[in-house]
């Protein structure tokens, strides 16, 4: 039987972000949102109160899930932070790392004789790291890591750097798994442990991931009991 998550407030981010260059062009990525949507659906089925912050995707809203649609990394950042407090944050979105320094209000035209165009990009704010450092930090913060090689080294680096509790790493560029596929394989890392999940459908993986989240929450030190000292 699967672990109940009744009463837990879970915030999930899913999908890509689109960073607008001008009114007709943007920088995006190939994330379909399927993994995050599968997690949100499975968590709601287990009785959690689920907020889903979705980038631009073509996915139906899962039952009993409260969804907010956003477009850019900056909008996703604002929506995720305003969904706190929560007990668990699952950062499954493929957030753009860079965004155009400025938005061109009208369509950028080719100029005669112009051989190239340089776009200036600036870093986006890291939603996952900001959630992990937030005064209303969820008890458990989980990030994803799409890597093409040295999966464990980069995943463990991310655990420490972003101060998160769990990293779900998947190797991208492997046939039949990753971004646009219905199937995936995940390698979960936490301080002192790891577990391989799949290859399996994203629905099966979502359930296994929620089982692990239930286990990790149970293994964590219980919240400090109310202070009894008087000031």
3-state helix, strand, coil in the chain (%, to 5): 25, 30, 45
Of 2-10, 91-99, 103-111, 218-226, the window that binds ligand C5P (rule: CB under 6 A) is 91-99
Q: Give the active site residues.
A: 29
Do the Cβ atoms of 36 and 13 come closer than 8 Å?
Answer: yes
String marking each residue 10-29 x if it binds ligand C5P according to CB under 6 A: ---x----------------
| 41 touches ligand C5P by CB under 6 A | no
Q: Does 124 bind ligand C5P (CB under 6 A)?
A: yes
> 210 by DSSP, 3-state: which?
helix
Cα-Cα-Cα-Cα torsion 149, 151, 152, 155, nearest 10 degrees, comes to: 130
Instruction: Select the residue interacting with ligand C5P from 35, 54, 93, 197 (CB under 6 A).
Output: 93
Q: Partners of 144 in the beta sheet?
A: 168
Q: Tell me how many residues contact ligand C5P (CB under 6 A).
A: 14
When asked if residue 97 is in the footprint of ligand C5P (CB under 6 A), the reply is yes
Question: Does 152 participate in binding ligand C5P (rule CB under 6 A)?
Answer: no
Cα 66 to Cα 73: distance, rounded to the nearest angstrom: 19
Question: Strands 25-27, 19-22: parallel, antiparallel or unpaired by DSSP?
Answer: antiparallel
Q: Is 166 in the site for ligand C5P (CB under 6 A)?
A: no
Residues that bind ligand C5P (CB under 6 A): 13, 73, 91, 93, 95, 97, 124, 126-128, 143-145, 158
């Amino acid at each position: 039987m699967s672990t109940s998550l009744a009463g837990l407030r879970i915030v999930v981010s899913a999908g890509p972000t689109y960073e607008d260059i001008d009114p007709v062009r943007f920088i995006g990525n190939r994330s379909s949102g399927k993994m995050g949507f599968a997690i949100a659906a499975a968590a709601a089925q287990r009785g959690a109160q689920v907020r889903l912050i979705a980038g631009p995707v073509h996915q139906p809203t899962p039952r009993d899930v409260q969804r907010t649609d956003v477009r850019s990394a900056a909008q996703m950042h604002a929506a995720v932070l305003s969904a706190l407090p929560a007990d668990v944050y699952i950062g499954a979105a493929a957030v753009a790392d860079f965004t155009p320094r400025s938005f061109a209000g009208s369509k950028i035209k080719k100029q005669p004789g112009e051989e190239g165009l340089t776009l200036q990009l600036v870093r986006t704010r890291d939603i996952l790291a900001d959630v992990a450092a937030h005064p209303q930090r969820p008890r458990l913060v989980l990030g994803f890591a799409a890597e093409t090689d040295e999966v464990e080294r980069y995943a463990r680096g991310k655990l420490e750097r972003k101060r998160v509790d769990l990293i779900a790493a998947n190797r991208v560029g492997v046939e039949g798994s990753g971004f646009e596929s219905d199937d995936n394989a995940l390698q979960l890392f936490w301080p002192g442990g790891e577990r391989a999940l799949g290859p399996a459908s994203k629905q099966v993986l979502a359930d296994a991931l929620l089982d692990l989240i239930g286990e990790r929450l149970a293994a964590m030190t219980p919240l400090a009991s109310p202070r009894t000292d008087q000031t």
